């Protein structure tokens, strides 16, 4: 997962855990990934892949802030270094900057776009606001219309908060009415910052060390409990199974079915071990995971080490194994 604009975003979503990562970098940092880092990363990554297809994922912050010319350069470099193999790009956006030019590019280059949309206006605007505190729903819906106009392949990503179980069917129905066929739902689970977080200038707590037995701490007011997330999914499943099987696809249901059939999970969160999906920041810094972009999980920089070397490092191997070896068994 690559974050070419770092934590910068044109929105100020109240539940976003990544915005405050700006505090982890030097003041007056230039968050734009430069051409040298970009080319080194793409060359390094493509050469490390021994598969006929190569997958890239672009996130932020808000990646459209890099400008379209940056992603034209991305595609050019991918063609240069892929040795004729197929390259697929996934692009996660809040949708507010999408226009004809962007969507024509996505359509021509066959990008898969993930659109952040939490549901109808009164739900979406509860947390997804701009820098002035105004809701972003109207702009996001304009972006959705653009994606459909250019027939860009897209899915939606909806954040699930503590209010969501009471709104599950309303959210699902709204997305379906907008013609969304592929839906992702992610639980918002964030803890109030502890002493360690405050020491590095953060308001939200970092994920606890897997070997720690300390109290996990108080949750942020928007966080959803495991029981609440389960209730949310049950309500959506009960609605989906009535008439939408094979017509609407919910990634968590697909993964659950695959697991029931004995298949390896397609989402890292359901794998016994992880560590393959590192996060690459704007400056080429590589971290264990995009949820672990903290100094203690820094693996190195693409300008100094190969991705293969960092992913296979003892620290990252331990990080991946800890998920199975150190998490509680139920």
Angle at 298 between CA 252 and CA 219, to 5 degrees: 50
Supply the DSSP symbol for 125: H
**Which position has the token pair 């720690």?**
212
For residue 96, what are the contacts with CB-CB under 8 A and spacing of at least 6?
10, 11, 62, 130, 136, 139, 140, 143
CA distance 316 to 227: 31
Neighbours of 279 (CB within 10 A): 21
- Kindly name the residue from 118, 194, 283, 290 that is annotated as catalytic: 290
Strand 279-280 relative to strand 285-287, pairing:
antiparallel
Does residue 208 come out as left (phi exceeding 0), alpha (psi in the -120 to 50 range) or beta? beta
The total number of residues written for the chain in this structure: 330
Is residue 290 annotated as a catalytic residue, yes or no? yes
For residue 17, what are the contacts with CB-CB under 8 A and spacing of at least 6?
190, 204, 291
Give the active site residues.
290
């Amino acid at each position: 997962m690559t974050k070419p604009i770092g934590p910068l975003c044109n929105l100020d979503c109240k539940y976003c855990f990544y915005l405050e990562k700006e505090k982890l970098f030097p003041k007056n940092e230039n968050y734009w990934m430069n051409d040298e880092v970009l080319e080194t990363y793409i060359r390094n990554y493509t050469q490390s892949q021994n598969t006929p297809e190569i997958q890239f994922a672009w996130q932020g912050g808000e990646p459209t802030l890099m400008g379209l010319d940056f992603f034209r350069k991305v595609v050019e470099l991918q063609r240069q270094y892929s040795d004729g193999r197929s390259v697929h790009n996934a692009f996660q956006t809040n949708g507010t900057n999408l226009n004809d030019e962007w969507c024509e590019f996505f359509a021509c280059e066959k990008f898969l776009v993930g659109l952040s949309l939490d549901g109808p206006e009164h739900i979406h605007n509860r947390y997804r606001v701009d820098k002035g505190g105004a809701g972003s729903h109207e702009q996001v819906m304009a972006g959705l219309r653009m994606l459909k106009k250019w027939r860009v392949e897209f899915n939606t990503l909806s954040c699930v908060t503590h209010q969501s179980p009471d709104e599950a069917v309303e959210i699902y129905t709204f997305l379906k009415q907008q013609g969304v066929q592929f839906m992702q739902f992610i639980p918002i689970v964030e803890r109030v910052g502890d002493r360690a977080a405050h020491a590095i200038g953060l308001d939200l707590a970092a994920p606890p060390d897997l070997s720690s037995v300390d109290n996990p701490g108080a949750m942020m007011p928007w966080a959803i409990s495991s029981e609440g997330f389960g209730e949310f999914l049950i309500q959506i499943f009960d609605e989906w199974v009535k008439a939408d099987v094979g017509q609407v696809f919910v990634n968590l249901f697909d993964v659950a079915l695959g697991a029931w059939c004995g298949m390896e999970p397609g989402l890292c969160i359901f794998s016994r071990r992880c560590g393959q999906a590192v996060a690459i920041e704007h400056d080429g810094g590589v971290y264990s995971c995009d949820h672990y972009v903290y100094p203690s999980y820094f693996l190195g920089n693409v300008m100094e080490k190969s991705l293969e070397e960092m992913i296979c490092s003892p620290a990252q191997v331990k990080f991946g194994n800890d998920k199975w070896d150190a998490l509680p068994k139920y």
